[in-house]
Every structure is written in C-alpha cells, then in structure tokens.
Amino acid sequence: MGGQLRIGAAVLRDAEEFLTDRGADGLEGTGLVAFGPDGDGWRAEMFVAPEQRGQRAELGCWVEVTEPGKRELAVRLPAGCRYLARVHSHPAAAFHSPTDDANPALSHEGAVSVVVPYFGLGLRRGLAACAVYRLTAGRWRSLPAGADRDRWVISDG
C-alpha cells in the first residue's frame, strides 16, 4: 500500500482514550485505524477498537481480538476505506515484540503498526513517543521519529 498516511489529532485522541481506559485495569489494548483516500496518500477517518480480551500474568500481558470483534471490524469499516494501521499498547517501553511480529492484525505490504508505551499514556506526547513500524518485504521495520517516518506516517496531533 503506497502513499503517506495522515493521522489527525482526533483519531489519536480516540485511540489514547481507549488504550488508557484499558491500561487503568492493567490491560493492553488494540485497534485499527481506517483510512480514506487523500490525493496520493491516505487520511485517517476513525479508530476502531473491536471487542477484545486482555490477559495479565506474572510474565506479562497480552490482548486478543475475539471472534465477534473480528466481525465488528468488518462491519464498522466505512465504505471506500481500508485498515492501514494498527495501534496497540504495551505496559512499558514501546517496541514490536516477537508476539506482535507473529500475530499481526494487518499483513499487507506497507501496513503500519504503532506501539504506544505505558498502557496508552505515550499518546499524550503524540506519535513521537511511540514506536512505529512499517511492513516492508515481509518484515516489520522500525521508523524512528524523523524524516524516514515522515515519508510514510505524519500526524497533526
């Protein structure tokens, strides 16, 4: 999927609200961002947080989208839009874990994965505080904040 992804402040606020609400219970959260065409790129239309089940254990925590949640994602996708980015939280540092690599919510070339630290609180500082990855040639590649990330993902929030 080519073209730059533009994510506005309202979509990031919706993601932050959902993730921090889950984080208040010590749980990770996940959702997808629906994008619509915007010239030669894509503009974020909405953050969709499907039904999900979070687990917390001594060795960590994880989240999985339920079967009804998967159907919810299909039903809630606006006409003409595509899911191009996943946003999910981690309890501490933002990084793409081996579990994230093995169980991606999106698997198309150019998909974006945003990992938000501190159970969603990192979004208060915008995307610069998050780890952003782009699926390229079958591998999730880090896009550190700066010019390389800005080629693919930009935010006004």
β 30-38/41-48 pair status: antiparallel
Q: Please tell me the distance from the alpha carbon of residue 37 to that of residue 22, in angstroms, as a whole number.
A: 31
Give the CATH number, domain containing residue 47: 3.40.140.10
pLDDT of residue 59: 79
Q: Please tell me the distance from the alpha carbon of residue 131 to that of residue 90, in angstroms, as a whole number.
A: 10
Number of domains, the chain: 1
pLDDT tens profile 99-131: 898 888 999 999 999 999 999 999 999 999 999
Q: Are 141 and 148 in contact (CB under 8 A)?
A: no
pLDDT tens profile 1-47: 678 999 999 999 999 999 999 999 999 999 999 999 999 999 999 99
For residue 120, give the DSSP letter. G
- pTM assigned to the model: 0.95
Q: What is the largest CA-CA distance in the chain?
A: 47
Write out the residue range of the structural domain in which residue 112 sits. Answer: 5-155
